């Protein structure tokens, strides 16, 4: 965790080399990223804004990231939820688990982070796009993976000692996960397998999932998100198919009561109305 142990100049240089030449994608490329990777997460498990952000970085920087796996973490969700997404870029599948956030990001320990920082000793989570670095042995948290931030919101991650590691205060089924000092810590019994897949050059995004938009329904199978499109506001409602029409249930989380939420299926396309 942050403040675990000083990061040597040699290790800081490894980070600089790891992210050399990586550029942020233009907004237009991010908007098109989902369509360019239709095989990835076909069920719409990962928040679309975070998935598009990640895929756009991949597209804008060919050869700069490993092409087998990437990670997305949705800090817009409560810590009891499975908000860590491991995405198989070749097969398209997504696996999920729980993950901690920094104590400074949730000072009242509600389970939901509300503030974020790139500042040392803040004990806060840093939002942004990262590239994973090398595996090393920490004196405090054991085997860990370095994280190199690519944006102004997270570019101090390596120097802060923010790393991907195991934790006994994080496990599935808890009403609320324990908090870290800023590190994305996961259940101890799952960590080694995840580290082996995501270390050394994988794309790693920590963000906040945004509302699904009407446009995100296009081309998605029943079971994806549908939304009100007047005034084009989405409510993250899961749809259920009934006689060829996909309706968002009133009881779904974040649904707006009394609104007309439906999406029609035609030729395999889900269109919000």
pLDDT per residue as tens digits for the range 29-48 = 776 787 788 899 988 899 98
Decide: 194 and 186 in contact? Cβ < 8 Å: yes
Assigned domain for 77 exists: yes
Assigned domain for 221 exists: yes
Domain with 219 in it: 214-272
Assigned domain for 3 exists: no
Q: Please enumerate in sequence order all residues whose Cβ is within 8 A of that of 80, keeping only pairs 6 or more positions apart, or say none.
A: 98, 111, 174, 175, 176, 177
**What is the model's pLDDT at position 27?**
76
Assigned domain for 103 exists: yes
Do 42 and 129 lie in one domain? The reply is: yes
Do 249 and 149 lie in one domain? The reply is: no
Do 154 and 263 lie in one domain? The reply is: no
Assigned domain for 228 exists: yes
Do 115 and 236 lie in one domain? The reply is: no
Decide: 73 and 184 in contact? Cβ < 8 Å: yes
The CATH number of the domain holding residue 189 is 2.40.440.10
DSSP 157: H
Which of 207, 226, 250 is the last residue in one of the domains? 207
Which of 175, 207, 239 is the last residue in one of the domains? 207
> Regarding predicted confidence, which is higher, 22 or 239?
22
Do 113 and 42 lie in one domain? The reply is: yes
Do 115 and 162 lie in one domain? The reply is: yes
Q: What is the pTM (predicted TM-score) of this model? A: 0.78
pLDDT per residue as tens digits for the range 137-157 = 998 999 999 999 999 999 999
Do 16 and 115 lie in one domain? The reply is: yes
Query: How far apart, in Å, are the Cα atoms of 47 and each of 63, 146, 166, 212, 236?
Result: 25, 25, 24, 8, 10
Do 18 and 129 lie in one domain? The reply is: yes
Helices 48-60 & 27-36 angle (0-180, nearest 10): 100
Do 54 and 179 lie in one domain? The reply is: yes
- How far apart CA 150 and CA 198 sit, in angstroms, is 17
Do 183 and 237 lie in one domain? The reply is: no
Question: What percentage of the chain has pLDDT greater than the value 90?
Answer: 66
Does 237 score more than 50 pLDDT?
Answer: no
Which of 156, 183, 207 is the last residue in one of the domains? 207
Assigned domain for 1 exists: no
Closest CA to 81 of 253, 235, 261: 253
**What is the model's pLDDT at position 214?**
38
Do 172 and 201 lie in one domain? The reply is: yes
Assigned domain for 130 exists: yes
Do 107 and 236 lie in one domain? The reply is: no
**What is the model's pLDDT at position 1?**
58
The tokens describing 166, both together, are 């195991």
Assigned domain for 112 exists: yes
Query: How far apart, in Å, are the Cα atoms of 106 and each of 114, 176, 177, 233?
Result: 6, 12, 11, 28
> Regarding predicted confidence, which is higher, 241 or 122?
122
Does 28 score more than 60 pLDDT?
Answer: yes
**What is the model's pLDDT at position 44?**
87
pLDDT per residue as tens digits for the range 154-213 = 999 999 999 999 999 999 999 999 999 999 999 999 999 999 999 999 999 999 986 544
pLDDT class of 267 with cuts at 50, 70, 90? very low
How many domains does the structure of the chain reveal? 2
């Amino acid at each position: 965790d942050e403040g675990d142990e000083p990061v040597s100049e040699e290790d800081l240089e490894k980070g600089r080399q790891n992210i050399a030449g990586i550029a942020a994608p233009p907004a237009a490329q991010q908007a098109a990223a989902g369509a360019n990777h239709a095989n990835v997460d076909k069920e719409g498990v990962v928040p679309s804004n975070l998935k598009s952000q990640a895929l756009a970085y991949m597209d804008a920087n060919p050869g700069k990231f490993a092409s087998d796996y990437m990670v997305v973490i949705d800090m817009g969700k409560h810590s009891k939820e499975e908000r860590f997404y491991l995405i198989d870029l070749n097969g398209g599948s997504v696996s999920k688990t729980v993950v901690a956030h920094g104590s400074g990001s949730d000072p009242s320990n509600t389970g939901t982070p509300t503030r974020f920082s790139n500042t040392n000793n803040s004990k806060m989570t840093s939002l942004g796009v990262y590239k994973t670095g090398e595996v090393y042995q920490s004196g405090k948290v054991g085997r860990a993976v370095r994280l190199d931030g690519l944006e102004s919101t997270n570019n101090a991650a390596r120097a802060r000692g923010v790393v991907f590691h195991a934790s006994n205060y994080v496990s599935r089924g808890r009403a609320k996960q324990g908090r870290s000092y800023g590190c994305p810590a996961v259940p101890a019994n799952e960590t080694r397998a995840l580290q082996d897949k995501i270390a050394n050059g994988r794309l790693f995004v920590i963000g906040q999932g945004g509302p699904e938009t009407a446009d995100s329904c296009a081309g998605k199978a029943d079971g994806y998100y549908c939304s009100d499109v007047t005034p084009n506001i989405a409510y993250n409602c899961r749809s259920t198919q009934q006689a060829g029409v996909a309706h968002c249930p009133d009881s779904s989380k974040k649904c707006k009561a009394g609104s007309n939420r439906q999406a029609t299926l035609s030729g395999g396309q889900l269109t919000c109305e």
